[in-house]
Amino acid sequence: MQYAASEYAKLLQQADVEISMSETGDPTQNGYVERLWRTIKEEKVDLSDYQNFREAYQNIERFLNEVYMYKRIHSALGYQTPVEFENAWFNRTMCEIVN
């Protein structure tokens, strides 16, 4: 409910952030995000014993930055890592602009 609140949506729009939720306004229907949360939970949270929130935050951040973005391939991205996919997109876009 809070993700569809008009004030929250207005803040996102002012920051040029695309709101990611289903047509019915249900953010839990976003399959890609739900898959990411599942991966984080299964591969970092459930397998670790954190002493405090800060330690959990740092370890999850490290996992996202070092493993998820650079090493883990994603079928939705044509079996590329997110960084490879983004670089390829950027290169295609720059070529289109130049040509």
**Are 59 and 46 in contact, with CB atoms under 8 Å apart?**
no
In a domain, 9, yes or no: no
Number of domains in the chain: 1
**Is residue 18 situated within a structural domain?**
no
Is 20 domain-assigned?
Answer: no
**pTM given for the model:** 0.57
Mean pLDDT of the chain: 85
pLDDT digit string (tens) for 20-55? 666 666 656 677 777 888 889 998 889 899 999 999
User: Across-strand partners of 80?
Assistant: 74
Is 23 part of a structural domain of the chain?
A: no
pLDDT above 90 covers what percent of the chain?
42
Which domain, by its residues, includes 60? Answer: 30-98
